[in-house]
Structure 1
């Protein structure tokens, strides 16, 4: 997130002074980025589209008029049922849940209500401030993952090196419950901090991420019962409570064994919409152009400078 983070740190505002804490500056940026959700202004030349003028300068938000109408209908339905807390009264969040149910209002209301209950029970609204994942350094040693740069459209890139993961050693330094809390905490940070910062950098509304899974060295040793339970828990949270936040996923270094054995097994944990966004590339090493035909697909979305240092 180097580019986005630098932009966020440089962002100046009359409400924030140089000596204010970093958290205060991020909070101000987050509030301004989220507050754009209900403002409609000039129609675009393209039929059925509207451009939204945001309170942060130079950010464009293009919306489909048909989607706006159904989001408005959903919003009123949630208000009538007292299911729309102010912090979640956001156009793009409502739209994500609608897309996940193929714009079925009744199913969306049910999914939304379940999400609110989960957030209350899990303590999600307070997890950034209250949860301390003190074992992070040890965890990333046994499960290398994290955000690294942005793609060519300004979306944050999330990278996991699954082939380097050691589930047994991972459970020696943490638990599934604590890792899941860390996962949710990072998701909340991405939505509340990274995406607004990337929106400022890209000068348009950024609402989704790009994921790269490096499966080099991945084998059955990585798919222990513990790993399966952890993957299932993460998939449930992502699919049910953070739908439609993935723009696309690239699986790199995928050999024959992965395609024939591991990938079919992994698909059982994923919903069809997520699977449709995944491209599996056979790349021996994405830091070197060894498979030009496969690598070109990745380079269409990700600049080489965004991942060269990661390898």
Structure 2
């Protein structure tokens, strides 16, 4: 699969093999397409040269971010899908900048957050644990703009960051969610769908199977007082960051 680069170590390359069921030809094609995309998108320098000054305003309108680690040491990614207010987002930023921020966060996760988590856990961490809150999700969230943006994001994720998702818990699913889920499932590959768990109405026990209470935000039934704006986790510890080889973005938040 070519020379091992800073973005192509053994763990990185193995993700592409797993994503294509260890079919070497298909994995090579996927990897080559991803390297082409990285070059065209400017991904290798995105941690340094993209500045998302509207981050806090964006997160207030589309709450999302990393928050501590699960019981396996994986970073927890929380997203409140039902809170998206696309019209207000348009007043804060553009779709292209939203996509760039999304890619930048994936790069930060791969190059800063996961290495920090690996140091703390004492073993290699290369996947996340996600909590997707769909409270309030309805047909209003299936507008053309939202579907287009989510489709673009999911395509980028699946084609360029394969096998980074360990498990997803969907919480606060309303009765109409099954129709929404059917609509967005077409954007998600079958292997990823298998990692998705739709939690019961009382979701706290389900989350606590994966996450210790002190690593779960209070509003989700845990005891952590940190918010998504805080970006709380071992990647904020200067002593740990000093051991992370990538210097970019270490103090961005």
TM-score calculated relative to the size of structure 1: 0.68
Q: Residue deviations 1:224-260, cap 9 Å, x none?
A: 211111100100100000000000000001121112x
Q: How many angstroms apart in 2 are the aligned matches of 1:307 and 1:264?
A: 29
Partner of 2:79: 160
Bigger Cα displacement from structure 2, 234-243 vs 223-232 = 223-232
- Counterpart position of 2:180: 262
Q: Spell out the pairing of 1:37-48 with structure 2 (5 A cutoff).
A: none
The root-mean-square deviation of aligned C-alpha atoms, in Å, is: 1.3
CA contact (8 A) 2:137 2:174 kept: no
- Structure 1, gaps ≥5 residues long: 1-77, 284-290
- Residues 159-190 of structure 1 show CA distances to partners (whole Å, capped at 9, x for unaligned) of 00111111111122111111110000000000
Alignment match, 1:296: 205
1:121-200 equivalences under 5 Å are: 121-200=40-119
TM-superposed CA distance for 1:85, in Å, is: 5.3
- Per-residue deviation at 1:308? 3.0
C-alpha distance in structure 2 between counterparts of 1:268 and 1:112, whole Å: 23
Corresponding residue for residue 106 of structure 1: 25
Q: What are the superposed Cα offsets for residues 194-238 of structure 1, whole Å, 9 maximum, x if unpaired?
A: 101001111111110001000111112222211111100100100
Q: Structure 2 CA distance, aligned partners of 1:176 and 1:274?
A: 25
Q: 2:164 aligns with which of 232, 245, 251?
A: 245
Is the Cα contact below 8 Å between 2:54 and 2:92 reproduced in 1? yes
Query: TM-score, length-normalised on structure 2?
Result: 0.84
SS of residue in 2 equivalent to 1:87: coil
What is the match of residue 217 of structure 2?
Answer: 308
The residue number in structure 2 matching 1:236 is: 155
Task: Give the secondary structure class of the aligned counterpart of 1:248.
Answer: strand
The CA distance in 2 between the partners of 1:144 and 1:295, in whole Å, is 19
1:268 Cα offset (Å): 1.2
String of CA shifts for 1:92-112, please: whole Å, max 9, x gaps.
111100000000000011111
The counterpart of 1:202, out of the listed 91, 98, 121, is: 121
Write the distance in 1 (CA, Å) between the matches of 2:207 and 2:50: 35
Whole-angstrom distance in 1 between the partners of 2:200 and 2:92: 33
Q: Structure 2: which 5+ residue stretches go unaligned?
A: 221-253
| Cα distance in 1 between the residues matched to 2:149 and 2:162 | 18
Deviations 1:111-159 (A, max 9, x none): 1110110000000000000001111111111101100111011100000
Q: Secondary structure at the match of 1:88?
A: coil
Contact 1:167 1:224 in 2 (8 A): no
